[in-house]
A and B are shown apart, each in its own frame.
Chain A
């Protein structure tokens, strides 16, 4: 199985900050990497697929990069509605495992 490791596990930031979350795969997954946002009590929401493709309707302040084993999710200017938990997911090989999550909190 492919293990996904996110860092940091939690992060405090302010509105307007630029934030980067990292995801590392235990083996190469090419660009088969997706990012989701989850708010309390809600289902996850797809933000980025194929490492860098922005899902329709997602604000352009979200961006993704990377390939192989190392990936990043960047939020260019945090908005109040962005405080949530973020998960990466590899979709290269079943089981399509998730990272443990990064909780983004207001400083």
Chain B
């Protein structure tokens, strides 16, 4: 069974750093892209970026380039999303999801989401 399991909710202060995770199982982790999607409270979905764990090829949305870092450790089938200095506006639910290497690039399996709250 394909599963993406994300790390738990986080409460942080502005300026702090954070790294959240997404662990894949039940499939070949190095053969699918993993993407990150932001959903701010009461708002829609925003595509942040993707990584191909097989070769660490990474693409970012211009809106998120320089604001976050996406990485992966294929030895433990885990992808990461990290911030070096959080802002209150980073408060959101963050989802990871996978999509096939080739073809129509749809997200077919999703993690359960990680809620990040940034407040002083």
Contact = CB atoms under 8 A, between A and B. Distances in A.
Interface of A: 1, 31-32, 34, 36, 38, 43-46, 49-50, 53, 55, 87, 89, 91, 94-101
Contact of B106 (A38, A43, A49, A100): A49
B112 A96 contact: no
Contacts of A96: 35, 47, 50, 105
Given A43-B110, A46-B108, A94 B59 contact: yes
B45 A98 contact: yes
Interface in B56-77: 59-63
A89 B61 CA distance: 14
A22 to B, nearest CB: 16
A98 B63 CA distance: 13
B90 interface: no
Complex A-B, nearest 5 residue pairs according to Cβ-Cβ distance, in ascending order: A91-B105, A95-B61, A49-B106, A43-B110, A34-B106
A101 B45 contact: yes
Given A43-B110, A95-B63, 13 more contacts: A34-B107, A36-B45, A43-B97, A46-B106, A49-B104, A50-B103, A50-B106, A95-B47, A95-B49, A97-B61, A98-B45, A99-B44, A101-B45
Interface residues of B, number: 26
Contact of B44 (A32, A95, A101): A101
A107 B106 CA distance: 31
A27 B106 CA distance: 19
A97 B107 CA distance: 12
A24 B49 CA distance: 22
A100 B42 CA distance: 11
Contact of A32 (B45, B60, B105): B105
B108 A32 contact: no
B66 to A, nearest CB: 14
A20 to B, nearest CB: 20
B44 A87 contact: yes
B54 interface: no
